[in-house]
Amino acid sequence: MHSRSYIQEQKLSYQQSLANQLVTAVIILNAELAIVYANPAAEALLNKSLYRLYNTAAESIFAKTSINSTRLKQLIATGQEFTDSDIVIELNESHRFTAEVTASSVEFAQTPHVLLEFKQIDQQKQISLEVFQHQQWLAARDLIKGLAHEIKNPLAGLRGAAQLLSKEVSEEQQEYTSMIIEQADRLTNLVDRLLGPNQLPQIKAHNIHGILEKVCQLVSYSNGQKFHLLRDYDPSLPQVECDQEKLQQAVLNIVNNAIQAIDEIHDITIKTRIASNKTIHGKRVKLAVQISIIDNGPGIPSKIQDTLFYPMVSGRSNGTGLGLSIAQTLINQHQGKLSCHSRPGHTEFTILLPLKQQPLNQTPLSQENEL
Ligand SMILES: Nc1ncnc2c1ncn2[C@@H]1O[C@H](COP(=O)(O)OP(=O)(O)OP(=O)(O)O)[C@@H](O)[C@H]1O
Ligand SMILES: [Mg+2]
């Protein structure tokens, strides 16, 4: 038989780790309606650490929503819990989300408190949309790969036959055979791009910034005068297990698009951060490296936004529409995710690469800085 105090101690330790593991964001307010506790999911949702949130008035979070101090005080007085859905919480201009909020009263140290639980609705919708789009992308890619494969073999035969023929015909007629060869080569090139990267990634630990700098160097050599390249790197990023060449190619495809999007000089920012609690193709990832490529160009044409990553979708008259599909394949090979948010004046591509091992310090420095 275990003693009562032992069981109580166990219970507290389970409760503590449970709160830390929960996907639901949980906040506790004291009787003055100031924050006294936020679990890690709440810290991530509000983009602030408990240290920063402590003693913040609940009103500052719920401004312009149906949850106000009168209702929360009433809850403390009567114990009548409530749930409000579709609460739009606006933390600042660029950070707003829709949530279902449940408020109930709880007692700690014999004083009444308010327990707030947040279910982020837009995130759930976004996750289902992402999973659906990913499946569509896989189906489109497989179809095109199958087609490309079927074209490739006869194409090689065609080219070989034209080569043999060129030895038999007069010099004048060789003009025709070399045209066949030239066009067959052009098609083979296209078909190879359609088939996508076919080698398995060579995974090693790399410094992400080294890879990004290589991309910056490559684009500056060819189009340096067309844009301002800005870096916003987090120097405390740990090394990432990845295939250097493949990651470089993926980022290059995205940066090239940003360069091609506009003729005037504009800004392209490459930003790196540590991200926590992200969802990658329906799976929850505790820590990931986030690379963002942001430009202030005209934005992605709205008619291609939903199918942007599908092969052969292009908004440019001379584009093949393969750059992003290839980038997507390369990032998927790293169990990562490539996504995009775009409006006129701000296009942001985000690459998430899961970190397999936690860095030695549980909370990465960068995260603390950001919170
Ligand atoms: N940063 C951006 N700003 C505006 N539009 C973009 C941006 N990135 C991509 N796009 C749009 O997305 C389309 C698809 O890009 P993707 O790289 O897949 O193909 P592409 O650039 O047309 O051709 P390819 O890369 O194969 O030469 C582009 O044609 C362009 O219309
Ligand atoms: Mg492209």
The arithmetic mean of pLDDT across residues 260-274, rounded, is 89
Tell me: pLDDT of 279 over 70. Answer: yes
In this prediction, residue 32 carries a pLDDT of 93
Same domain, 329 and 224: yes
Q: What is the distance in A from the centroid of ligand 2 to the CA of 163?
A: 33
Same domain, 56 and 75: yes
Antiparallel, parallel or unpaired: β 240-242 and 337-343: unpaired
Tally Cβ neighbours within 10 Å of residue 210. 11
Q: What is the distance in A from the centroid of ligand 2 to the CA of 148?
A: 19
Q: Which atom number of ligand 1 is nearest to the Cα of residue 293?
A: 1
In this prediction, residue 286 carries a pLDDT of 85
Alpha-carbon distance of 325 to 304, in angstroms, equals 13
Tell me: pLDDT of 361 over 70. Answer: no
Tell me: pLDDT of 363 over 80. Answer: no
Alpha-carbon distance of 54 to 29, in angstroms, equals 10
Same domain, 231 and 256: yes
In this prediction, residue 357 carries a pLDDT of 55
Same domain, 138 and 49: no
In this prediction, residue 175 carries a pLDDT of 92
Same domain, 342 and 234: yes
Decide which of 72, 96, 121 is a domain's last residue.
Answer: 121
Binning pLDDT at 50, 70 and 90, where does residue 269 land? Answer: very high
Tell me: pLDDT of 196 over 80. Answer: no
Q: What is the distance in A from the centroid of ligand 1 to the CA of 323?
A: 7
Hey, what amino acid is at 239? Q
Ramachandran category for residue 231: left, alpha or beta (phi over 0 → left; psi -120 to 50 → alpha): beta
Q: Which two tokens stand for residue 300?
A: 């992605």
In this prediction, residue 237 carries a pLDDT of 93
Q: What residues contact 87, with CB distance under 8 A and at least 6 apart?
A: 62, 65, 66, 67, 98, 99, 100, 101
| 287 HSE (CA, 13 A, CB side) | 19
Same domain, 65 and 152: no
Atom 19 in ligand 1: residue holding the nearest Cα: 321
Length of the chain: 371
Alpha-carbon distance of 209 to 272, in angstroms, equals 8
Whether 316 is in the pocket of ligand 1, judged by its Cβ within 6 Å, is yes
Q: Which atom number of ligand 1 is nearest to the Cα of residue 325?
A: 18
Average pLDDT along the chain: 86
Same domain, 111 and 136: no
Same domain, 184 and 290: no
* Ligand positioned closest to the Cα atom of 349: 1
pLDDT above 90 as % of the chain: 48
Q: What is the distance in A from the centroid of ligand 1 to the CA of 352?
A: 20
Q: Which two tokens stand for residue 132?
A: 């659906």
Antiparallel, parallel or unpaired: β 240-242 and 204-206: antiparallel
In this prediction, residue 184 carries a pLDDT of 94
Highest mean pLDDT among 121-135, 142-156, 328-342: 328-342
Decide which of 195, 229, 247 is a domain's last residue.
Answer: 195
Alpha-carbon distance of 256 to 221, in angstroms, equals 12
Whether 320 is in the pocket of ligand 1, judged by its Cβ within 6 Å, is yes
pLDDT tens for 61-99 read: 888 888 888 999 999 999 889 999 888 888 876 678 888
Tell me: pLDDT of 20 over 50. Answer: yes
The arithmetic mean of pLDDT across residues 313-336, rounded, is 91
Q: What values do phi and psi take at 283, rounded to 5?
A: -105, 140
In this prediction, residue 149 carries a pLDDT of 85
Q: Which atom number of ligand 1 is nearest to the Cα of residue 315?
A: 31
Same domain, 313 and 335: yes
Same domain, 112 and 244: no
In this prediction, residue 369 carries a pLDDT of 31
State how many domains the chain has: 3
In this prediction, residue 370 carries a pLDDT of 33
Instruction: Answer for the pair 25, 102: CB distance below 8 angstroms, yes or no.
Output: no
Q: Could you tell me the CATH number of the domain that includes residue 312?
A: 3.30.565.10
Q: What values do phi and psi take at 171, rounded to 5?
A: -60, -35
Hey, what amino acid is at 219? V
The arithmetic mean of pLDDT across residues 280-301, rounded, is 90
The arithmetic mean of pLDDT across residues 41-56, rounded, is 89
The arithmetic mean of pLDDT across residues 155-160, rounded, is 92
Range of the domain at 39: 4-121
Q: Could you tell me which of 167, 294, 277 has the C-alpha nearest to residue 229?
A: 294
Alpha-carbon distance of 134 to 141, in angstroms, equals 10
Same domain, 223 and 331: yes
Q: Could you tell me the CATH number of the domain that includes residue 105?
A: 3.30.450.20
Atom 6 in ligand 1: residue holding the nearest Cα: 300
In this prediction, residue 336 carries a pLDDT of 94
Q: Which two tokens stand for residue 8?
A: 């109580």
Task: Point out which residues pair with 27 in neighbouring strands.
Answer: 38, 116
Which of 302 and 124 is assigned the larger pLDDT? 302
Say how many Å lie between the first and final Cα of the chain, rounded: 45
Hey, what amino acid is at 137? W
In this prediction, residue 224 carries a pLDDT of 65
Report which secondary-structure segment, H or E, holds 86.
strand 82-92
Whether 319 is in the pocket of ligand 1, judged by its Cβ within 6 Å, is yes
Q: Which atom number of ligand 1 is nearest to the Cα of residue 318?
A: 22
Ion ligand 2 residue ranges (Cβ < 5 Å): 257, 323
Decide which of 135, 167, 195 is a domain's last residue.
Answer: 195
Same domain, 306 and 191: no
Whether 292 is in the pocket of ligand 1, judged by its Cβ within 6 Å, is no
